[in-house]
Amino acid sequence: MFPWNLFPFNKDMQNKVRQMNPEEINQYVQNIMEQMGSLFQPSATNYMNPQDFIKSFHAGERGHSTAAKGSDIQYSVYETHDFIFVRVHIEQEEWLQQLKLYLTSHLLIIENVPETGEKQSIPLPALVKKKGTSAQYKEQTLEVKIPKNIDMQFSEIDIIEI
């Protein structure tokens, strides 16, 4: 028999719903929206980048920066179910002539940008495969579309009691 008594629904639930004060609920929702800050403001310039929003939850963890540091380039990484997209800001069209892209199973390496001989490594959020990767340039943005690699190999690890 299913243990229905473990759920929070009981005979008094209907009474609790009737006793709820709509003003308290409204105040709670308003407080949450204020805490989230500019994310919910109607101005289009105040919307937060989804990457920055997620990073705010992982402030203590190591992550990549999309802002330029010294000679670093500006980039952003987006992940879908089947692909990883890396968008790189290209300030000068001349960079495309000297630009070289390399791919490992977990890194996108950009060489000769912004200066000849410089190398930038962009960590990817999942394993990727090289076949099917494409890059397009449009409006000062280089977009690299990389298919994900589904890693189905796993092994059981024995636990030894000491």
| Residue-averaged pLDDT of the chain | 77
Does the pLDDT value for residue 55 go beyond 90?
A: no
Domain with 80, as residue range(s), is: 75-147
CATH number of the domain that residue 107 is part of: 2.60.40.790
Residue 28, in any domain of the structure = yes
Cα–Cα nearest to 122, from 132, 140, 131, 135: 135
Average pLDDT over residues 28-47: 65
Q: What is the pTM of this model?
A: 0.52
Spatial neighbors of 51 by CB under 8 A, at least 6 apart, are 66, 76, 77, 78
- State the pLDDT confidence band at 61, using cuts at 50, 70 and 90: very low
In angstroms, rounded to a whole number, what is the distance separating the alpha carbons of residues 86 and 141? 10
Does the pLDDT value for residue 68 go beyond 70?
A: no
- State the pLDDT confidence band at 92, using cuts at 50, 70 and 90: confident
Quick one: 139 and 82 in the same domain?
A: yes
Residue 159, in any domain of the structure = no
Per-residue model confidence (pLDDT) at position 96: 86
In angstroms, rounded to a whole number, what is the distance separating the alpha carbons of residues 39 and 34? 9
Q: Which residue has the tokens 């992940």?
A: 79
DSSP secondary structure letter of residue 43: -
Quick one: 83 and 119 in the same domain?
A: yes
In angstroms, rounded to a whole number, what is the distance separating the alpha carbons of residues 79 and 74? 17
Cα–Cα nearest to 132, from 95, 83, 63, 72: 83
Average pLDDT over residues 90-119: 88
- State the pLDDT confidence band at 64, using cuts at 50, 70 and 90: very low
Quick one: 34 and 97 in the same domain?
A: no
Average pLDDT over residues 129-135: 91
Residue 102, in any domain of the structure = yes
